[in-house]
Amino acid sequence: MNIIEAIKLNFDYVNREESDGTETVVHALSDLDLTIEKGSFVCILGHNGSGKSTFARLINGLNLPTEGTILVSGMDTKEEEKLLAIRETAGMVFQNPDNQIIANVVEEDVAFGPENMGVPQAELETRVTKALENVSMTAYRYRSPNRLSGGQKQRVAIAGVMAMKPECIVLDEPTAMLDPTGREDVLKTVHELNRQDGITIVLITHYMEEAVDADRVIVMDHGRVAMDGTPVEIFGRVEELKKLSLSVPVMTELAFELKKAGLSIPEGVLREEELVEAILKNR
């Protein structure tokens, strides 16, 4: 079953040049057809301006398509009365952890979404407790978000979405502003939510390493799907990725170079252990 379905999706915006006032229409998405299966972990890659963030905002109904339709659990984002239900179904986590925390206490921020949905107070309590447990932030429940690290703030933001009991979470470059430890924590949390609670994850990123453990990798370029497949399939096509000015995970890159140098190494090496094994076989 598909939770997100994009049909001939187009999104244009007008870019105004500051210096001379000329306006150019940018096609952020052009005729994008894409479906995302319920319960899957999908990673969307692409360089800046490939349309990946635009796509995320269209899922959540924050922007409306210029042309075409996007269905979330069968609901069209263009129908205004369904907007709240769509946002409940597909939650969203943004890049900057500071700019998406609203309340002054962690637990109140986590409760913000369900409060808006009008969830009764007794249930709010259980939802907040559960959501904070989900992201292992229970110990920080009564703290001020200002005292947390970037990774912790991002986990609070994820808990805020989890408390809305979504079927799907869209994360728009959630790790871009975090240090390595924070990135690892956030990724671990997201993978756990996918595995244990069956939440569909759409992770938008430009760190190739984060795509390694996904079920499916979609590479976007110029508002279209350029590549689509499992991580092994995608990262096996090193040269194609480079043409789209994307890098590949370090291990894949190393494997690719070693292979070029004459070693026998299989396609689609993604992890350190795999590469070590492949090299050892060459002795």
Partner 1 sequence: MREITLGQYYPADSVLHRLDPRTKLAGTLVFLISLFIAKGFPGYAVATVFLAAVIIMSKVPLSFIVRGLKAIVILLLISVSFNIFLTDGTPIFTLGPLKATREGLNLALFMGVRLIYLVIGSSILTLTTTPNQLTDGLEKSLGFLKKIGVPVHEIAMMMSIALRFIPILTEETDKIMKAQMARGADFESGGIIKKAKAMIPLLVPLFISAFRRAGDLAMAMEARCYHGGEGRTKLRPLHYERRDVIAYIILAVYFVLMIIMK
Per CB under 8 A, 108 contacts partner 1: yes
Stretch that binds partner 1, among 23-31, 94-102, 132-140, 196-204 (CB under 8 A): 94-102
Strands 41-45 and 200-204: parallel
Tell me how far, at minimum, the Cβ of 78 lies from partner 1, in Å.
16
Per CB under 8 A, 258 contacts partner 1: no
Q: DSSP for 42-73?
A: EEEE--TTSSHHHHHHHHTTSS--SEEEEEET
CB atoms within 10 A of CB 83: 16
Site residues (CB under 8 A) for partner 1, limited to 56-85: 57, 60, 62, 84
Per CB under 8 A, 155 contacts partner 1: no
Report whether 60 contacts 86 (CB < 8 A): yes
Stretch that binds partner 1, among 29-37, 114-122, 194-202, 247-255 (CB under 8 A): 114-122
Interacting residue with partner 1 among 2, 66, 82, 117 (CB under 8 A)? 117
Stretch that binds partner 1, among 30-38, 98-106, 180-188, 224-232 (CB under 8 A): 98-106
Sort residue 104 into left (φ over 0), alpha (ψ -120 to 50) or beta: alpha
Per CB under 8 A, 88 contacts partner 1: yes
Interacting residue with partner 1 among 51, 160, 182, 223 (CB under 8 A)? 160
Q: Give the integer Cα–Cα distance in Å for 98 and 187.
A: 18
Per CB under 8 A, 128 contacts partner 1: yes
First to last CA, the chain: 47
Q: Which residue has the tokens 């924590």?
A: 185
Per CB under 8 A, 196 contacts partner 1: no
Residue type, 241: L
Per CB under 8 A, 98 contacts partner 1: yes
CA atoms within 13 A on the CB side of 163: 33
In the complex with partner 1, the residue whose CB is nearer, 204 or 227, is 204
Per CB under 8 A, 151 contacts partner 1: no
| Residue 136 token pair | 């292992």
In the complex with partner 1, the residue whose CB is nearer, 186 or 265, is 186
CA 246 vs. chain centroid, Å, equals: 17
Output phi, psi for 268, to 5 deg. 65, 45
Residue type, 55: F
Return residues touching partner 1 (CB under 8 A). 57, 60, 62, 84, 87-88, 91-92, 94, 96, 98-105, 107-108, 111-121, 124-125, 128, 145-147, 160-161, 164
